[in-house]
């Protein structure tokens, strides 16, 4: 039986206060996401229910019940407390999808610290920028990734401890501590920190056009939004086995890979391994996965492998499919109907929104290619990009904007209140994406309203890439822009002018690509480098990426009257 009302029922008289009541939360009470995801579920009598079904890349498996997860997160939190870590400190989780990552996030929240999950493929520069900005005092990592931390530790005076969860007796360096979580005696006496609604919870770094990535700062009250959107949009039911294939280094992996499902007492399956169609179907079949939250790039990769491969696996348990991160093409929705017998339901949201804001609600007619309609309690509009008032004509392109009155909107960008304030126009929170709305109120994505590159559902900021490129001895100037790609939607292309004495060559091309892959991440690595004499600039000397991007997409370049050297 579904717990989800129809869209019409859900929007009628929707009030976040009803969700607070359902969660037993009263204004002013302590609210702690870690407690809600573990202790509360146990108090509801579900302690023996599996919380996490984990599978490693070598095929090793472990299952933890909600009660085991409660004890392990308490034990982890007590251990951090005994190490001297204080509430409010930023604790970074820099590791693959090990059980310790999931328990670590909850433990950090339980002790009133701020969890800062970072994608484990980040190289030393990406890592340093984010740890330095956040003033992080603890990094929790694994042997495989500790080397990257060692390279930058001297430039992080505030970093007190580097915790290695799989040290296994191997020698560690200064400031490093081994933690064998599964061998610790269970801490039965841990008292969850009484965080309140506005206490900071998770800090996710997200890329914009200008400047280095910004720390999107969430609060514990975000739970209200994450709980109800997970329950309704993912259509979660008590017997579900749910799989979110996003990494907790990105917001989907925390809002819907940790908080939403566990606050609903739902069993989650986690696969700590990269994309492999056969392996993924096998994982779904063996674990009888019922609800799957994925992303367009993954779906396009699955499409390439064909529906025949789907038919070789017993995916009969699958009941509901959702997608996020990039535009979900109509073809992918139609293919999923053929291959799985059900459509992927597109959902639109951002790191900043903390929860889904425009969704294809279960039961609502899916219009392939549309993102759906605003979630109940969310006021969304498409605004004129100059006046910041709703567009007058139906179907007119404008910027997506939201009234800032739902629980999980971030409260600021870390150390960058100005940047956060800049997101508001005329009383709206402006998302930075363009869309249209049709006669039925469905939103249709048009494109981003800035130069951010969306590669495989991950946002990459051009500024971060350009700054890193300058670190290469041959690079004089550069511009990083999106280039269309059939699978990843976009990939990074860099235009580079060289310093005197350097000549373009295939070797240099490769060298620069690898330089970025190592310093930043495989996602940020340019897939193509074009050596140029000059870059298009404004009269004030700013590089105009839009001209380069338009050429890549075969689009009109637009007004270039301000360009100085074209």
Binding site for ligand 6R9 (CB under 6 A): 206, 250-252, 324-328, 346-351, 371, 431-433, 445, 448, 454, 459
Closest alpha carbon to 366 in 321, 303, 430? 321
CB of 259: closest distance to ligand 6R9 in angstroms? 13
Buried b / exposed e over 140-175, threshold 16 CB at 10 Å, is bbbeebbebbbebbeebeebbbbbbbbbeeeebeeb
- Calculated CA dihedral for residues 411, 413, 419, 420, nearest 10 degrees: -10
Q: Closer CB to ligand 6R9, residue 70 or residue 231? A: 231
Query: For residues 73 and 294, which CB has a smaller minimum distance to ligand 6R9 in the complex?
Result: 294
Nearer to ligand 6R9, 263 or 435 (CB): 435
- C-beta of 187 vs 487, nearer to ligand 6R9: 487
CA-based nearest residue to 128, from 522, 518, 510: 518
Residue 53 or residue 355: which is nearer to ligand 6R9 going by CB? 355
Please answer whether residues 239 and 220 qualify as being in contact, where contact means their C-beta atoms are separated by less than 8 angstroms: no
By beta-carbon proximity to ligand 6R9, the closer residue of 324 and 333 is 324
Q: In the complex, what is the shortest distance from the CB of residue 459 to ligand 6R9, in angstroms, rounded to a whole number? A: 5
Least gap, CB of 251 to ligand 6R9 (angstroms): 5
For the chain, give the longest Cα–Cα distance. Answer: 71
Buried b (16+ CB within 10 A) or exposed e, 437-456: beeeebbbbbebbbbbbbbb
Quickly tell me which residue has 């039961």 as its tokens: 363
Question: Residue 97 CB, nearest distance to ligand 6R9 (Å)?
Answer: 17
Residue 319 CB, nearest distance to ligand 6R9 (Å)? 21
Tell me how crowded residue 55 is: count the other CB atoms within 10 A of its CB: 20
Q: What's the CA gap between 235 and 284, in Å, rounded?
A: 18
Q: How far apart are CB 254 and ligand 6R9 at their closest, in Å?
A: 10
Q: How far is the CB of 279 from ligand 6R9 (least distance, A)?
A: 24
Indicate the residue among 56 and 432 with the shorter CB distance to ligand 6R9: 432
* Tokens (6 digits) for 83: 């190490």
Neighbours of 121 (CB within 10 A): 18
Helix (H) or strand (E) holding 267: strand 267-271
């Amino acid at each position: 039986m579904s717990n989800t009302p129809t869209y019409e029922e859900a929007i009628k008289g929707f009030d976040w206060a009803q969700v607070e009541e359902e969660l037993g939360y009263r204004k002013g009470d302590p609210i702690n996401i870690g407690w809600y995801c573990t202790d509360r579920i146990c108090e509801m009598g579900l302690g023996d229910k599996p919380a996490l079904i984990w599978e490693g890349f070598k095929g090793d498996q472990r299952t933890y019940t909600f009660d085991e997860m409660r004890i392990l997160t308490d034990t982890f939190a007590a251990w951090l407390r005994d190490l001297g870590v204080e509430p409010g400190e930023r604790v970074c989780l820099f590791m693959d999808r090990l059980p310790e990552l999931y328990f670590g996030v909850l433990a950090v929240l339980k002790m009133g610290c701020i969890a800062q999950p970072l994608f484990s493929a980040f190289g030393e520069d990406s890592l340093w920028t984010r740890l330095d900005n956040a003033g992080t005092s603890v990094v929790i990592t694994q042997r495989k990734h500790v080397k990257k931390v060692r390279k930058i530790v001297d430039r992080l005076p505030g970093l007190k401890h580097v915790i290695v969860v799989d040290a296994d007796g191997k020698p560690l360096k200064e400031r490093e501590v081994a933690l064998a979580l599964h061998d610790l005696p269970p801490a039965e006496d841990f008292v969850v920190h009484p965080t309140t609604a506005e206490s900071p919870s998770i800090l996710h770094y997200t890329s914009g056009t200008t400047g280095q990535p910004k720390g999107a700062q969430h609060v514990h009250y975000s739970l209200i939004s994450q709980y109800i959107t997970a329950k309704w949009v993912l259509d979660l039911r008590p017997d579900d086995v749910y799989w979110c294939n996003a990494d907790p280094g990105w917001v989907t992996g925390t809002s819907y890979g940790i908080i939403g499902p566990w606050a609903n007492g739902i069993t989650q399956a986690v696969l700590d391994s990269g994309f492999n169609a056969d392996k993924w179907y096998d994982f779904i079949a063996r674990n009888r996965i019922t609800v799957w939250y994925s992303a367009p790039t993954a779906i396009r990769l699955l499409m390439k492998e064909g529906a025949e491969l789907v038919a070789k696996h017993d995916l009969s348990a699958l009941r509901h499919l959702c997608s996020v991160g990039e535009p979900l093409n109509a073809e992918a929705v139609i293919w999923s109907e053929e291959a799985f017998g059900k459509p992927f339901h597109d959902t639109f949201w951002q790191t900043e929104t903390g929860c889904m804001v425009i969704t294809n609600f279960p039961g609502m007619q899916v219009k392939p290619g549309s993102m759906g309609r605003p979630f109940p309690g969310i006021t969304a509009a498409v605004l004129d990009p100059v006046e910041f008032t709703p567009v007058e004509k139906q179907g007119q392109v404008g910027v997506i904007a939201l009234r800032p009155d739902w629980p999980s909107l971030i409260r600021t960008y870390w150390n960058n209140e100005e940047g956060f304030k800049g997101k508001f126009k005329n009383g709206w929170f402006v998302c930075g994406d363009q869309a249209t709305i049709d006669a039925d109120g469905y939103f249709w994505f048009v494109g981003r309203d800035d130069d951010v590159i969306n590669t495989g559902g991950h946002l990459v900021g051009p500024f971060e890439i350009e700054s890193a490129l300058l670190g290469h001895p041959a690079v004089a100037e550069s511009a990083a822009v999106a280039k269309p790609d059939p699978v990843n939607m976009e990939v990074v292309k860099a235009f580079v002018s060289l310093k005197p004495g350097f000549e373009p060559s295939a070797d240099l091309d490769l060298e620069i690509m690898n330089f970025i892959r190592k310093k930043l991440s495989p996602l940020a690595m340019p897939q193509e480098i074009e050596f140029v004499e000059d870059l298009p600039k404004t009269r004030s000397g700013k590089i105009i990426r839009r001209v380069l991007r338009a050429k890549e997409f075969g689009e009109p370049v637009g007004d270039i009257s301000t360009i100085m050297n074209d």
